[in-house]
Amino acid sequence: MFSGLYDLPAFYKGDSGAVKRLVNDWELTSIVTLQSGSPFSVICNNSTTWFSRADMAATAWQESGSVESRLNGYFDPAAFSCGAANTLPPYGTSPRNFIVGPAQRNVDIGILKHVPVTEKVRMEIRGEFFNAFNIANFANPQNNMLVVDPATLKPTAGQISTSASGPRVIQLAVKFSF
């Protein structure tokens, strides 16, 4: 994560006081967040097992390509199987937290200006842009091998169906301090 505040240089150096107040003394802020994905395990969870890890049926579980191209198959669910119900211990043969989910990137930008109105009154004008570049950040895929889509009755393991962050949001504000 990186955050910063930058006082923009004075753009107007003329004699007009009103233009100086309007054009000069702006500040630019930013927060840049770059994170790797969070690790997760492939599990088998139903009414008879409690969060047991899935068995590795094959070693070629990882799909290739960008996250956007793998929304319906972030990992290959055919590489995993659920062991027999009520087997003890119900740990499965797949490693714990060995798959890493999608990375997260976000840039927030703000621009603000402090305007002195009188000796004791100040006005602040602010514009903020959250997820300024409208970057799509996806959540981890469905990791439970036993969850099915109610409409199609097909397993949803490996599918990404939610985002981890919202769309671009623009917020404008004016604040008086006295």
Rounded percentage of the chain residues whose pLDDT exceeds 70: 93
pLDDT reported for residue 65:
86
Is the CB of residue 146 less than 8 Å from the CB of residue 80? no
Which sign, positive or negative, has the C-alpha torsion 53, 54, 59, 60?
negative
pLDDT tens digits for 30-55? 999 999 999 999 988 876 656 677 88
Q: Cα separations (Å) of 174 from 40, 63, 101, 123, 127?
A: 44, 49, 40, 7, 9
Residues of the domain holding 105: 2-177
Check pLDDT > 80 for residue 149: yes
Spell out the residues 6+ positions from residue 9 whose beta carbon is closer than 8 angstroms to its own. none
In this prediction the pTM is 0.78
- The count of structural domains within the chain is 1
Please name the residue that has the structure tokens 């603000």: 112
Is the CB of residue 55 less than 8 Å from the CB of residue 87? no
